[in-house]
Amino acid sequence: MNERPRRNRKSSVIRDMVRETELNVSDLIYPLFLVDGKGIEVPIASMPGIARYSEDLLLRQIEECVQLGLKSFVIFPAVEDSLKDQEASYAMRSDNFYLRTIRSIKQRFPEVCLMSDVAMDPYSSDGHDGYVRNGKIDNDLTLPILGRMAIHQAEAGIDIVGPSDMMDGRVQHIREALDAAGFTDTSIMSYTAKYASAYYGPFRDALDSAPKFGDKKTYQMDPANKREALREAALDEAEGADYLMVKPALCYLDVIQTLKENSTLPVSAYNVSGEYAMLKAAGEKGWINYDKAMPEMLLSIKRAGADIILTYFAKEYAQLKVES
Ligand code: PBG
């Protein structure tokens, strides 16, 4: 035999030398759930290890992460039902707890990278990402709302706004709104190919943001479609996105690879709540070696082509890295 691939696996030094993919803590963005109040930590049953935190305890979480070298976060607000309305108007109150907390984080930890969620659902009495008119999601009435939401977040100090709503034309609308308000340095990470997925269930528990009627299939993508992701990517690029995102990650590794091969923009992937819950549950039951399966899962997303991974495993992965 001339060819013996095993020779390149014969020792750990050699394996380290020929390794093709490396997953770094600096590749990760850690999603955090925020509630109004003080001293509040409400664990999310379907996401063991993840909780909704009030600002004081969220700041403590961020401090622990920063010490582990994890410095990028995306913050999602869990808003009380009484503050939700059809227009998501609470998002536009500059003293709301979400914007207040963004300012506090930036003041305490100026070096961290903060990403926001731009969509109506956390603030909407209809639980939809867009404006509901006559029982339908109205694309063009949603755009100005998203634009104003993004400006408020940029004002509070957000580094990257993350439109997760899947309305047509929103990246361009948000880019123009930000530029007109003087926020030319605020980046946009577009949820380019966000699929209508069953894997968002635990997240909707966390935010209590499930749609009050119907589903999200008129705006989120059909899990059967890959070429359509290229169409969305071309639009996001033309409209001024700084990053493309695929969401969820695991069932869509092929989509991640396709976007990576067809774009020069950085590609991110959102390893979503249901993906986290599955692995946690199997680990808790002792059906899988969690400490080994978790880095393998993250590595697969990186290997598929993601430059950046949004994942609830981020803090634990950083802890594992520090220990090893
Ligand atoms: C909604 C939004 C969702 C997630 C992030 N932003 C859920 C949805 O579309 O219903 C899901 C994240 C996750 O499941 O971890 N704007």
Tell me if residue 194 is catalytic. Answer: yes
Residues 6+ apart with CB under 8 A from 232: 192, 193, 221
Residues 72-92: tens digit of each pLDDT: 999 999 999 999 999 999 999
In a domain, 265, yes or no: yes
Q: How confident is the model at residue 324 (pLDDT cuts 50, 70, 90)?
A: confident
In a domain, 40, yes or no: yes
pLDDT > 90: what percent of the chain? Answer: 97
- Give the Cα separation of 131 and 273 in Å (integer): 25
Q: Which two tokens stand for residue 130?
A: 């867009």
Output the pLDDT for position 206.
84
CB 134: neighbour CB atoms within 10 A?
5
Q: Which position among 71, 84, 194, 280 bears the catalytic label?
A: 194
Distance (angstroms) between ligand 1 centre and the Cα of 108 equals 27
Residue 35's domain comprises 24-323
CATH assignment of the domain containing 175: 3.20.20.70
Q: Find the mean pLDDT for residues 295-306.
A: 98
Number of domains comprising the chain: 1
The mean predicted confidence, pLDDT, of the chain is 97
Q: How confident is the model at residue 244 (pLDDT cuts 50, 70, 90)?
A: very high
In a domain, 50, yes or no: yes
In a domain, 6, yes or no: no
In a domain, 261, yes or no: yes
In a domain, 111, yes or no: yes
Which residue has its alpha carbon closest to ligand 1 atom 1?
Answer: 164
In a domain, 90, yes or no: yes
Which residue has its alpha carbon closest to ligand 1 atom 6?
Answer: 164
Distance (angstroms) between ligand 1 centre and the Cα of 19 equals 33
Q: Which position among 71, 84, 216, 247 bears the catalytic label?
A: 247
